[in-house]
Every structure is written in C-alpha cells, then in structure tokens.
Amino acid sequence: MDSVKGIHGFTVKTINGQDFDLAQLEGKKVLVVNVASECGLTPQYEQLEELYSATNREEFEIIGVPANNFGGQEPGTNEEIASFCNSNFGTTFPMMAKISVTGNDQHELYQYLTKHSLNGVADIEMVWNFQKILVDENGQLVKTVHPKTLPIDDEIVNWING
C-alpha cells in the first residue's frame, strides 16, 4: 500500500459484490462511515442520505461500510443489509460489502485509516457504529468524527464546503 495514494490505492467490494476502485474518488472529499442496521444510531442513515442528496457528486462522496464489530448490531448478509437500507431509508450513496473495521480481522482499508504508521496522520480508535472518517481530495485522512455527531452537523458540512 502506497500511503501517498491514501485510500485511492484500495479496491473494495460493493454490497452487490462488484469491485469498487477508490481511485475513482480522486479529487473528491469522502466521508467513510461504518454502519449497522440494529444500532440506536441507525436513524443516521436518514441524515447521511440528506447530506448525500444536498452535495455535489463531483466534489463529495459518502461510502457506507457495514460492520458487525460493535454489539453484534449488523448480523445480516450483504443482501439483507442492502434491502434494509433501500426499504427503510432509500439510500443512494455507495454501500460496500460488510467487513471488519477493528480487531484482528480488520480490513486493510480500515488498517490504513486507523493506523498512524500507515496513514501518516493519526491513530484512530474505532469506538462504535456510525463513526465518520473524513478523507480529503487526495485520499488522505483528515480526521474522525464521533458516532453520535449527526452527518448533517456543521462540523461535517463546513468541512465539505470549506
């Protein structure tokens, strides 16, 4: 992994099993968020979709990453997760296949995002579902935003528009 490329050096699987080359996000700010269907914070899907609808696709992208690392709150299959998101929240932002965002089986994308030795910016502790990680146009980590902070919070909106 070339840290100069940041997240743009990764290819991940979409929730439908297709390859998603993060290099296609070059030039865009990205909010990467680990999501779960059975969490008290699950209603944040609504604000994620609101933010997604209100922003320019040429400048900003949201990547939803289902994970079952916290409280067993994402037990479903990729198909069940996709169905849940579509029927309950009408999500249109890209959803990735379920992965592990922490622990011994942590996905390589999250290893990069959370380890200073890889990202060159900070060590980040993944604390719960709906933790937001902000990545700049060059694919580099900017910062993390607490899970309870809504996606439409000024902290995030001002960063996108800044």
Going from N- to C-terminal start, the domains of the chain cover 6-161
- For 146, the 3-state DSSP assignment is coil
What pTM did the predictor assign?
0.96
- The Cα 18–Cα 112 span in angstroms is 21
CB count, 10 Å around CB of 10?
Answer: 18
For 6-161, which CATH class? alpha beta
Q: Is residue 3 very low, low, confident or very high in pLDDT (cuts 50, 70, 90)?
A: low
The mean pLDDT of the chain is 96
Q: Look up residue 77 and give its two tokens.
A: 């299959």
Return the pLDDT at 61. 98
50-92 tens-digit pLDDT: 999 999 999 999 999 999 999 999 999 999 999 999 999 999 9
Among all residues, which ones are annotated catalytic?
39
